[in-house]
């Protein structure tokens, strides 16, 4: 048992520093930056940047999958690929980018920063491992022992390291500077994407008992603008996301999760962020085991983090189902009113015209 929560975070950070620092032994390039709205991936990115500040080598570039041009690199340039939970076939665009980098830079040392590995298709996993085994200088860092065993069983022949999430390298003073006071009681942080454990959730659900929300999202018009910028102006896009976007998303995330007395979370990085802020949190799994695999690997001794009991999960599931149905009914009523009210007005106008003429 660790004596205090800060000690847990420090121990996990030091584990990353001790094992990863010696591998970055020359100038490097940092790729697959998350130029999208997921605050959890922004936390990974911020933690990685804070870790890299102590690396005594230069960074020759920072790019997303949209802004990297696959230019020639010196053979001794270390390629860092961002960590997270997109190693596999669910978020395939990131794995395809990773494989392309591995294929096009066969002489460069490549380090995949801590990832969760998950494949729905055994055939795809086998094919990916075979492709990765062609590279002679590939290191894959995994975030949990399940991911480690998965790659070992499939015969991955490169270096494997089991490391905590890079978010633990964030300077906690930076986080605490944005911390809000507690003004609300309970949040169910319910992811609304394909990893949701509660099925197809598309919007926030109104409940009188607890708030049911996902991470704060970017509004539609801003998302559209950012997609345009990513495609048409790579240098400007890199500058915007690295200097303006990243600190703003971190600020938003900290303020959002720190206003609640208690949080039940289906997102791993809400758990990590609450732990870094010294706040209690209860974790439940995503759709395929990522959260609990990470918890069992690193967080079992964290007093501030606990697992939702089966009774709690069943109660929350019933609660979500009920209030999601209520939300759907309200949405249907709004749609019906939006369709039929103008029709009724038109009929009334035509009837009035017929009577008066």
Backbone angles phi, psi at 201, to 5 degrees: -105, 125
In this structure, are residues 291 and 284 in contact, taking their beta carbons and an 8 Å threshold?
A: yes
Average pLDDT per consecutive 10 residues, the chain (357 residues; last block may be shorter): 65 97 98 93 98 97 95 97 95 96 98 96 96 97 97 97 98 93 92 68 65 79 64 82 92 96 95 97 87 96 91 73 58 59 67 73
DSSP sequence for 236-260: HHHHHIIIIIHHHHHHHHHHHHHTE
In this structure, are residues 117 and 150 in contact, taking their beta carbons and an 8 Å threshold?
A: yes
Backbone angles phi, psi at 112, to 5 degrees: -85, 115
Q: Give the pLDDT confidence score for residue 3 in this predicted structure.
A: 39
Between CA 274 and CA 281 the distance in angstroms is 6
Q: Give the pLDDT confidence score for residue 327 in this predicted structure.
A: 58
Q: Give the pLDDT confidence score for residue 115 in this predicted structure.
A: 98
Domains of the chain, by residue range, sit at 5-169, 172-310, 311-357
Q: Give the pLDDT confidence score for residue 70 in this predicted structure.
A: 97
Token pair for residue 1?
């048992």
Question: Would you state the CATH architecture of domain 5-169?
Answer: 3-Layer(aba) Sandwich (3.40)
Q: Give the pLDDT confidence score for residue 321 in this predicted structure.
A: 62
In this structure, are residues 273 and 175 in contact, taking their beta carbons and an 8 Å threshold?
A: yes
Q: Say how far residue 99 (Cα) sits from the centre of its chain.
A: 20
Q: Give the pLDDT confidence score for residue 58 in this predicted structure.
A: 97
């Amino acid at each position: 048992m660790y004596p205090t929560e800060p000690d847990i975070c420090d121990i996990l950070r030091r584990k990353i520093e001790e094992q990863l620092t010696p591998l970055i032994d020359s100038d490097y390039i940092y790729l697959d930056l998350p130029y999208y709205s997921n605050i959890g991936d922004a936390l990974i990115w911020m933690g990685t940047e804070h870790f890299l500040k102590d690396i005594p080598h230069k960074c020759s570039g920072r790019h997303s999958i949209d802004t990297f041009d696959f230019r020639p690199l010196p053979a001794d340039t270390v390629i860092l690929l961002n960590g997270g939970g997109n190693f596999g076939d669910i978020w395939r665009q990131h794995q395809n980018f990773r494989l392309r980098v591995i294929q096009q830079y066969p002489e460069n040392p490549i380090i995949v920063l801590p990832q969760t590995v998950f494949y729905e298709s055994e055939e795809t996993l086998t094919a990916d491992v075979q492709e990765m085994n062609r590279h002679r200088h590939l290191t894959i860092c995994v975030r949990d022992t399940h991911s480690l065993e998965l790659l070992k069983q499939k015969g991955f022949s490169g270096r494997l390291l089991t490391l905590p999430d890079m978010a633990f390298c964030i300077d906690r003073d930076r986080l605490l500077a944005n911390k809000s006071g507690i003004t609300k009681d309970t949040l169910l942080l319910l992811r609304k994407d394909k990893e949701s454990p509660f099925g197809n959730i598309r919007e926030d659900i109104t409940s009188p008992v607890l708030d049911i929300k996902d991470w704060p999202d970017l509004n539609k018009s801003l998302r559209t603008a950012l997609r345009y910028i990513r495609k048409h102006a790579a240098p400007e896009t890199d500058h915007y996301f690295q200097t303006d976007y990243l600190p703003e998303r971190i600020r938003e995330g900290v303020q959002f999760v720190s206003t609640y007395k208690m949080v039940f979370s289906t997102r791993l990085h809400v758990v990590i962020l609450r732990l870094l802020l010294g706040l209690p949190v209860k974790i439940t799994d995503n759709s395929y085991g990522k959260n609990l695999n990470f918890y069992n690997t690193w967080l079992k001794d964290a007093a501030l983090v606990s697992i939702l009991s089966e009774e709690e999960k069943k109660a929350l599931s019933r609660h979500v189902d009920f209030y999601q149905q209520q939300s759907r009914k309200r949405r249907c009523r709004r749609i019906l009113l939006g369709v039929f009210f103008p029709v009724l007005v038109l009929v009334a106008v035509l009837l009035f015209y017929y009577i008066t003429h």
